[in-house]
Amino acid sequence: MFTAKDVQALREKSGAGMMDCKKALTEANGDMEEATKLLREKGLAAATKKAGRIAAEGVVDSYIHMGGKIGVLVEVNCETDFVAKTDNFKALVHDIALQIAASNPKYIDRTQVPADVLETEKEVIRAQAMNEGKPAAIAERMVNGRIEKFYTENCLIDQPFVKEPDKTIGMLITESIAKIGEKISIRRFVRYEMGEGLEKRNEDFAAEVAQQMAKK
């Protein structure tokens, strides 16, 4: 079946408790990948149950890009002051601040996108599709697909995590909720970029931040 080392390895990989890892391995007949999947599914269920809770504690963190090119302030909430002081929660908040610096989201999630902004974006995409000679039905499908891309580029929750691009910030938060055991929510953020609004050379800050992280 599985050994104590397998349980420990799954615990280190998932961040779940020892007993939860043991149960998952038992259900998965010792299959590590299946056990990881089971823990992730249970974490998603737990996060859904916590969605209605009040999260009024938390941390305001900052991230200043090397050389002072970008500055970020972000407030992330949890349920208790105890969790707010833990290293795991602080690390999560700092990662979110880093994400904002690197990827420059405009909104926290899709609900914050103003209706007029979304409609304008759809009109532009629809016009582009029609100019390409696409039939109306195809154009509408293109609108839906490209709006998803708009959300991915502009909504923090939908953005790929700069440290692990195979997961989104939303997935990162869900995993953290499962590990920490409390509701976690991003309340607000502000991002300042040196010389913003002034004419300047274009730089790929996301690539630069990722490169710096790789050196650590």
Query: What is the average pLDDT value for the chain, to the nearest integer?
Result: 85
Residue 16 lies in a domain: yes
Tell me if 77 sits within 8 A of 184, measured CB to CB.
yes
Residue 35 lies in a domain: yes
pLDDT at 94 (0 to 100): 95
Same domain, 164 and 211: yes
96 versus 19: the higher-pLDDT residue is 96
Neighbours of 133 (CB within 10 A): 8
Residue 178: pLDDT above 90?
no
- pTM for this entry: 0.68
State the DSSP code for 69: S
Residue 185: pLDDT above 80?
yes
Can you give the residue range of the structural domain that contains 18? 4-50
Residue 19: name the closest of 29, 28, 8, 30 by CA.
Answer: 8
In the chain, the number of structural domains is: 3
Same domain, 32 and 96: no
Residue 109 lies in a domain: no
pLDDT tens for residues 16-74? 667 778 888 998 899 988 888 887 776 655 555 566 676 779 999 999 987 888 999 99
Residue 96: pLDDT above 70?
yes
Phi, psi of 192 (to 5 degrees): -115, 135
Tell me if 58 sits within 8 A of 186, measured CB to CB.
no
pLDDT at 136 (0 to 100): 79
Helix (H, G, I), strand (E, B) or coil at 162: coil
pLDDT at 98 (0 to 100): 96
Same domain, 98 and 130: no
160 versus 200: the higher-pLDDT residue is 160
Same domain, 22 and 124: no
Same domain, 82 and 183: yes
Q: Which tokens belong to 68? A: 């002072």
Same domain, 163 and 209: yes
pLDDT tens for residues 117-164? 999 999 898 888 888 888 878 888 888 888 999 999 999 999 999 999
CATH of the domain at 177: 3.30.479.20
170 versus 214: the higher-pLDDT residue is 170
CATH of the domain at 128: 1.10.286.20
pLDDT at 213 (0 to 100): 65
Tell me if 80 sits within 8 A of 90, measured CB to CB.
no
29 versus 209: the higher-pLDDT residue is 29
